[in-house]
Chain A
Amino acid sequence: MGRALGGAPRARDCRGGLIRLPTHTCGVLVRLQRIWSFDSRNFRSMLLLSLGPKAWPRLSQFKPRILPRSREGEFLHAWSRNLSGQNQPRGPGLRTRLLITTLFGAGLGGAWMAAKAEKEQRQRQQRTEALRQAAVGQGDFSLLDHQGQPRCKADFRGQWVLIYFGFTHCPDICPDELEKLVQVVKQLEAEPYLPMVQPVFITVDPARDDVAAMARYVKDFHPRLLGLTGSTEQVAQVSRSYRVYYSAGPKDEDQDYIVDHSIAIYLLNPDGLFTDYYNRSRSAEQIADSVRRHMAAFHSILS
C-alpha cells in the first residue's frame, strides 16, 4: 500500500476503490485526512463521500495517478471501473426509481388492504352465524295467550314485537306504560307502508294472572294487545331470558300484594332477535321514532 502526501495508508486505498471494508471507517479516515489539506478537489471529494455509497464511484476521479498499487488494489480498481462504466454513474434515473418505489408501495398497500378485507369478511360471517343461533334459541318462551292458546317465540317470526312485563294488579305504572305502548303501535299503524307491530304483555304475577284475568285486562288497551301467562316456571324462564327482575311484595289482609319489577319495553325484530329496549323516560314519539329507524335498517339473517 503506497503513501500519498501526508495521508494515512488506509485512507488512500479506500479513496481509490469503490468497495472496501470497513467503508465507514474508510470514509471517516478520508475526511480526517482532507481536513488537513483543503483544496477544491478535496472539497468535492468530501462532498461525494458525504453523499453516501452511491456517490463513491465518482471518488475514483480524485485518485492520485502516481499511486503505486498492490495487486489487491489493482483488482479493486479494475472492478470499480467495471461497475461504474466509464467513470460516470449510470444507474436508473430518479424518475424511474420513484416510479418503481411507488409501484412497490402500492403493491404492498394493496396486499395489506386485501388481507384486511378478508379478515373483516370472516368476522362478519362469524357474527352472522352467532346471531342466527341466538335468533332461534335465545329468548324463547312457551306461554299461554289470553285465549288459552300456547304460544312460543317462533310464532312471532316475521313480525316486529314490543313486549312489556307487568301484572294486572299494578296501581299506575303498568297501565301508563301499556298506554304508551299502545300509542306507539297506533302511531306506527297510521303509516300504511310500515310493517305491523305486535304488542305483547307478559305477566310477572302468574299466581293471580290466569288466562281469564289477562283477557279482562288486555281488552281495555288495544284489540291486538296479546296477553301471555303461564306456570310459575315458564314465567321465571322468560323473565330470565329478558333479564327482567320481579319480586312479589308482602300480602295484606285481602291477600293483595304488589309485585316490584323492572320497567322496560322490549323490541324484537322479525328474526326474533332482541333489538332495543325503552325505559320509563322515553315518550311514545321517541319510541316510535326508534322503531321506525330499526325497521329501516333491518336486514334479515334467517332467510
Chain B
Amino acid sequence: LLQVLACPLTKSKLTYNEETNELISEEAGVAYPIVNGIPNMIPHDARIIDQ
C-alpha cells in the first residue's frame, strides 16, 4: 500500500508507524489512521503530530 499512496495534502511519501498503526506524512506533520485495515486518508480526520 505504501508504494501506491501519498499524502493527500502535500502529495509526498508516507511512512508506516507500526506502533500506532498510522501512515505518517512528515512533510505535512500529520498521521493518517488505519481503521479496520483500511487507511483513512481524509485530511480532516488526520492527527496532527506535535513536533
Q: Do A and B come from one complex?
A: no
